[in-house]
Copies of this chain bind each other. A is one copy, B any other.
Amino acid sequence: MSTDAQALTFRSAPVEQANQIAYERLTQAQPVLTDIQPAGDVVPGMTPNTILTSGAPLQWGQYYGGQRNAIIYGALYEGLAATADEADRKLHEGEIVVGSTHAHGCVGSVAGIYTASMPVFVVDDTTHGNRAFCNFYEGESRRRLNYGVYDQEVADGLRFIQHQLAPVLREAVLRSGGIPLKPLISRALRMGDELHSRNTASTTLFARELTPAFIDLAADGQRAQVHTALEFLYASDYFFLRLAMAAAKATADAARDVEGSSVVTAMTISCLEFSIRVSGLGDTWFSGPLPEVDCQLFEGFTEDDIQWIGGESHITETVGLGGFAQAAAFGLQAYQGGSAAEMARLNELMYAITVGEHPDFLIPYFGFRGSPVGIDIQKVVATGTVPVIDGGLAGKNGGQIGAGILRAPLECFQAANSAFQQRYPVEPR
């Protein structure tokens, strides 16, 4: 028996209790989309010259490649600089501030660029009172700001979202009195989504949820605006991902700071590393190397073309979705490769490293067994089984080049577990 496994045995009772609390918070959260607002108006600590990006915080000089580009592009989009050189200088001098999304209640998809004017979904966990945010999906093009691309088309797309899409969606959300997201997620799991790399059903259900309000808006003179919104929603099968992420962030945050709990409350990727945060260990990030990946790349690309430019959409895996519910979404094979049998096997493995089964996220293929939820760093270290993550992949020249299953590095769980043992020493028997 390894030292880690012994530790697990010795302090199982108090840790189990703490983890049960974390599990209950993870499963009892009720994330509700309550508003859509510019990030600068609602995100705590967001200033006009702040740019948020994915990953545990780095110094400006540490960012490279697509993530560095994406931050500079954010500055250009927001009008904080006229050229890339000017943006670089201002970022060096602190005139433009780079913030970590998670430090502001946000989560980033891939590079995860937030600027003050960008609209964000405001999601409140009505059970625990906390709030989280996510910005918008840019559309089906492989060339998007969050994949490290910026040109006139990308800028126009972002402006469309800000000035045309967000206002009418906001009106519909407010007229609807808020949209509870958990029922949509639960239902989408029965309709082939796992809510990370497949959001077809949830996007459809979300549009359906807003449709009565759209009908009223159309009757009240906003026919054209409603058509515009519907066209975008209907053309964007991944639209709901950002709502799944905001819901997952609100949910995972509810499980933060449970004294004595070894449950993971966030996983993040920057261009340099993969990092996790643990409920009983405060805001500290524990890092390891970038993940390994089994992928299916778009035609013309090889694994050498992959570049890590950040990513936090695996907040969904943190709450029992994505790779932890992939047996609900066999359709994903078309996107990220693999086989149904392998998807079921990987999904099944996650039960060995989690605290419990989700009472509301049910997987039909497993006979409606609840998805595995509450990643326990002690179980990860003891078994050597790491979380599997469905994810999109960025290319060295920007843009999405494929998708696949990522494996979190064991090292960050080992680092967290060492800190956990120091922080919660085993009582002598």
| CB nearest neighbor in B for A226 | B215
Stretch at the interface among A25-33, A50-58, A198-206, A353-361: A198-206
For the complex of A and B, list the 9 residue pairs with the smallest distance between their C-beta atoms, beginning with the closest: A330-B364, A219-B223, A331-B364, A218-B219, A215-B218, A190-B331, A191-B192, A218-B218, A191-B191
Q: Tally A residues with Cβ within 8 Å of B.
A: 33
A200 to B192, CA, bound (A): 12
Stretch at the interface among A118-126, A257-265, A278-286, A332-340: A332-340
| CB nearest neighbor in B for A198 | B190
CB proximity of A207 to chain B, nearest CB, Å = 7
| CB nearest neighbor in B for A188 | B191
Which chain B residues border A211 with CB–CB below 8 Å?
207, 211, 214, 230
A354 to B200, CA, bound (A): 31
Task: Point out residues on A near B: beta carbons under 8 Å.
Answer: 190-192, 200-201, 204-205, 207-208, 211-212, 214-216, 218-219, 221, 223, 226-227, 230, 234, 330-331, 333-334, 339-340, 364-368
Which chain B residues border A230 with CB–CB below 8 Å?
211-212, 215
Residue pair B223, A215 in contact (C-beta under 8 Å): yes
| CB nearest neighbor in B for A187 | B200
* Sample (8) of A-B pairs whose CB atoms are under 8 Å apart: A190-B192, A191-B201, A207-B208, A211-B214, A212-B230, A331-B364, A334-B368, A340-B364
The listed residue (B200, B207, B216) touching A191 by CB distance below 8 A is B200
CB proximity of A333 to chain B, nearest CB, Å = 7
CB proximity of A11 to chain B, nearest CB, Å = 38
| CB nearest neighbor in B for A209 | B234
A191-B191, A191-B331, A215-B226 are known contacts; what are 17 more A-B pairs with Cβ within 8 Å?
Answer: A190-B200, A190-B331, A191-B200, A191-B201, A204-B205, A204-B208, A207-B208, A208-B208, A211-B230, A215-B230, A219-B219, A330-B365, A331-B364, A333-B364, A333-B367, A334-B368, A340-B366
A367 to B342, CA, bound (A): 11
Which chain B residues border A204 with CB–CB below 8 Å?
191, 201, 204-205, 208
Known contacts A334-B368, A364-B340: does B212 contact A223 (CB below 8 Å)?
no
Q: Which of A192, A200, A364, A368 has the most CB of B within 10 A?
A: A192
CB proximity of A210 to chain B, nearest CB, Å = 10
CB proximity of A203 to chain B, nearest CB, Å = 10
| CB nearest neighbor in B for A338 | B367
